Chain A
Amino acid sequence: MNDQTLTIYQQMLNKGYDRRDFLRFCGWMGALIGVEASGVGRIVHALETKPRTPVVWFHFQECTCCSESFIRSSHPIVGDIVLDKISLDYTETLQAAAGKQAEEALHETMKKYKGEYLMLVEGSVPTEENGVYCCIAGRSALDIVKEAAADAKAIVAWGSCASNGCIQAANPNPTGATPIHKIISGKPIINVPGCPPIGEVMAGTIVHLLAFDRIPQLDGLGRPKAFYSRRVHDTCYRRPNYDAGLFVESFDDENAKRGYCLYKVGCRGPVTYNSCGVIRWNNGVSYPIQSGHGCIGCSEANFWDNGPFYQHLASFPGFGIETTADKIGVAVGAATLAGMAAHSITTNIRKRREIKESIANSKTDKEGGA
């Protein structure tokens, strides 16, 4: 069990890290969450002096890719300390306790730290049929979320599931999968979308909350600005090819080998807010575009319905998968032009008659008048 009175720093020392490791970790975190150099001192101070914040981590309709991503964060201390030691009073996938004991731990935390604990949610919440599609310990996810949120200090919605519904909310959304911010109101909610989010982004968000005791700056969709204020496209290393109009036409062409921009094979980088181009994945090794595949926009709402992934324009609803707005526009335009051609022919027939009549009239005018 965790000792509630120890600070993160003490926990680290107990684990065998030294002060140098600790400072390096703080500096790294500071750079990641975008605080200025003087802010790093505050992180150090906070982690040295504050007793750990109690955290409960729920898993609902999800695939655990968020947890997987988190424990693969490039800094070992993240997995070791943040996840293992300080955080979790309750988390279905990692805790040793099971069944009754697990539930007891949860309720004890919720009672003892009323209004103080952080609530992390991975996965969406089904709302159809009273939420029977996801139940834990005999209760629906919907009930659990509402109960736990009532006394939480803040909520972090991990991944696209919890922040925008992700794949299980794709049309027709049979279980009524719903993101957290549509269920809970009146609590600060931080959305950290992505399928999964980048491990460093998750760690950065958590450390920000632990160190500053404050919600990071959020954008209009409740995402931390430090990680989601720029599009993948804005930091993409293939961007010069985009500006030069050098595009991959198909995945096996010469242009693909040259590493041109993937815009025309459906890259969603221009409409996706994330830090993949900067932080990258798996210890900064690569990210989808670097590996030759366009971005699929996994951190954007409805990305699953915005397909097909390999073309720039979505298919037009109701017109088959290959039909884009352009095809429909061309068809309607052609029909309009044809209609106008027909219209102008009948107009001319009519006008001919009118001109004839008017000539005839002027003739009779002349004959009668002169």
Chain B
Amino acid sequence: MHTATIRRYYVWQMPVRVYHWVNALCILSLCITGYLIGSPLAIQSGSEASFGYWFGTVRFIHFVSAFVFFFNFVGRIYWGFVGNKYAQWKNFIWHRKEQVKEIVDVLKVDILQAKIGPLKSIGHNTLASFTYFLSFLAFLFQCMTGFGMYAAMSHAWLPQMFAWVVPLMGGDFAVRQWHHLTMWFFILFSIVHVYLVFYHDYVEGRGVLSSMVGGWKFIEEEKK
């Protein structure tokens, strides 16, 4: 019988897991409320304005989620410096030859559905890391444009720190358009990301899917 030892690696520490799920929830909330801000529902009621505040509430949820999202993101950047080797910032861009090879391998697995031996990486595979890096850039962009717009409504230091974004991008209208467009990046990223996590779990059987919950991955080691 084909036997192998499965070794358990503790990959995602608690802060990374908490970060991940807080982030996912924030993005869900930001996309839903953001979409509503862009295309509010048609409510054909004859009521007076003083009886309702639902749109204000939608915006409020957007802003609360935005602040949580921002500080959560800052926390993850910090953890990129003090976390374990799988969480380190260096993981997010390839810088070694075998990592380039791994990107090609992953593309073969994902697109050509080729069957190749187990991947080297135990943490994120190199391609996945790179897409996370891109999504971090999108997080940053969304925070800059979001807080840039928010600066018009608040004198707090945090939004004011981003006030320069608006003139740079040529006015609030442009900022809003870009902010809106970037929402679609998040939606597409999430669809593909969730699918690929399921897919890799399915074809690799290393417990990738559950790793973001429990922190463990299960790596097969040939018996010596």
Which residues does A use to contact B, with CB under 8 Å?
Answer: 220-221, 230-231, 234, 240-247, 249, 254-255, 258, 263-264, 268, 270-273, 297, 300-303, 306, 312-314, 325-326, 328-329, 332-333, 336-337, 340, 343-344, 346-347, 350-351, 354, 361-362, 365-366, 369
Contacts and interface: CB of A to CB of B under 8 A. Distances in A.
Contacts of B172: 231, 270-273, 300
A347 B53 contact: no
A245 B54 contact: yes
A182 to B, nearest CB: 13
Contacts of B45: 246
B170 A301 contact: yes
Interface string B9-49: 00000000000000000000000000000111111111101
Grouping DSSP codes into helix (H, G, I), strand (E, B) and loop, the A interface class, with mixed when no group exceeds half, is helix
B184 A240 contact: no
B118 interface: no
A220 B55 contact: no
A294 B184 CA distance: 27
B128 to A, nearest CB: 16
A317 to B, nearest CB: 10
Interface string B125-153: 00000000000000000000000000011
B199 A344 contact: yes
Nearest to B60: A243
14 contacts: A230-B152, A241-B49, A243-B56, A245-B58, A263-B40, A302-B171, A306-B173, A326-B38, A328-B184, A336-B192, A340-B195, A343-B113, A347-B202, A365-B2
Interface in B153-176: 153, 163-164, 166-167, 170-176
Given A332-B188, A333-B188, A268 B173 contact: yes
B164 A369 contact: no
Given A333-B187, A365-B1, A347 B39 contact: no
Given A249-B42, A300-B173, A302-B173, A244 B49 contact: yes
Nearest to A244: B52
A342 B60 CA distance: 40
B40 A314 contact: no
Contacts of A241: 49
Contacts of B170: 301-302
Interface size class of B (residues with CB under 8 A): 35 or more
Contact of A325 (B47, B171, B174, B181): B181
Interface of B: 1-2, 38-47, 49-56, 58, 113, 115, 152-153, 163-164, 166-167, 170-177, 180-181, 183-184, 187-188, 191-192, 195, 199, 202-203
A300 B171 contact: yes
B102 to A, nearest CB: 20
Contacts of B43: 245-247
Contact of B113 (A303, A314, A346): A346
B114 to A, nearest CB: 10
Contacts of A313: 38, 177, 180
B16 to A, nearest CB: 26
Contacts of A297: 173
A34 to B, nearest CB: 17
Contacts of B153: 234
Nearest to B172: A271
Contacts of B44: 249, 254-255
A46 B47 CA distance: 53
Contacts of A306: 173-174
Contacts of B42: 247, 249, 264
A254 B188 CA distance: 38
Contact of A340 (B164, B180, B191): B191
A220 B163 contact: yes
Contacts of B188: 329, 332-333, 336
B47 A246 contact: yes
A172 to B, nearest CB: 17
A264 B173 CA distance: 15
Contacts of A300: 171-173
Contacts of B191: 333, 336-337, 340
A328 B181 CA distance: 9
Given A245-B55, A325-B184, A337-B191, 4 more contacts: A306-B173, A329-B188, A332-B188, A350-B113
Contacts of B47: 244, 246
Contacts of A350: 113, 115, 203
A328 B183 CA distance: 12
A7 to B, nearest CB: 38
A362 B46 CA distance: 71
Nearest to A368: B1
B113 A347 contact: yes
Contacts of A314: 173, 177
Contacts of A366: 1
A142 B153 CA distance: 39
